[in-house]
Chains A and B, each alone.
Chain A
């Protein structure tokens, strides 16, 4: 890690106390056994070891950097075709916005979101599958 990135990570660590997840209403459901399958965090601003320690064990922590493209084409697109999704994150705004729009065509999407710093938003997203018949010829 470069010195500048280290300083930035330390500054962000100070911004987010360990209780961020447990104390944030957006993540209220994330206690005990979670209904959420994945938790996305922006690796530039969030240290999972100290700041996401309250995320329950069965949730997959996924590091990202704003861009949803790789996450969508690599895992979520296929999953979204077959099932409903429940996801959470601590990311920049565009990440969850794009995710929401990608799911819009095939799912009824509900998002709770709260800004937690200049750059970051905490969010929970539930996308119920509409079972659209994709009629690709």
Chain B
């Protein structure tokens, strides 16, 4: 279990505390555990990057926090936001939490904006649904301020969504997400459909907001470069679980899980001189391997990996709570009752 160290005085008490989160989908072949026992903390104003490849469960995790899941999905475990348990809340309460405390930003901004409504109407509706005492004029003003903060001219508040480019729409979505002052933003691939320059602009904006508004950011992405540039900590997901979590500098400098190593090596960057990739494919989550889920693809596997399911254990130097990996190459990853062969 990983916890960010709390500085003296406890001002950095996690704003989001997730424990043993599980999300399972029913399939014709049986139950599929898309998220299988994930725990993480997010401090106020901190940004945590959640990386993994398609199908690893990272998006399901983001949606699972607010139980925004397709019918039939079963959610278990604990999600505490500012000390309040979200698992088990009814839909109405969750809707309130969603705008006021934990905001979501998705990949496709156009599908979240109503094409028939002016941008101002989106702001007025969002604000007044939560704060009925605010009149339309005030809400319009709040919208203009929110747009300005996102670099969108206030003159454009009465335009319709189609009059904006893709990057502007994503800025508008972020402005809408932030207008009620949430303490956490969950952004799921917020820049994936955007060009590289616009992506960098949006990431700069998110970074600035995090400092100015002290908003915690859970950034879900497949792009390790984005994590390296914007996050304080990184959690690497594989087959429904976190396999490594720790400070970005340390994990990128000296990854402790072979999957993290493989992922980092497969990134094609400006400095790449040799191409590298990971053989094989992720396991079937209806019937995952008995031992380590990465073992079938792992170049470093040994006998125990096929039979013992590793837990997240402390790795690296320093505070035992800051950096963990679930790999049997580290003694700390053996479940307590198992003994290293």
- Do A and B belong to a common assembly? no
CB within 8 Å of A: which residues of B? none
CB within 8 Å of B: which residues of A? none
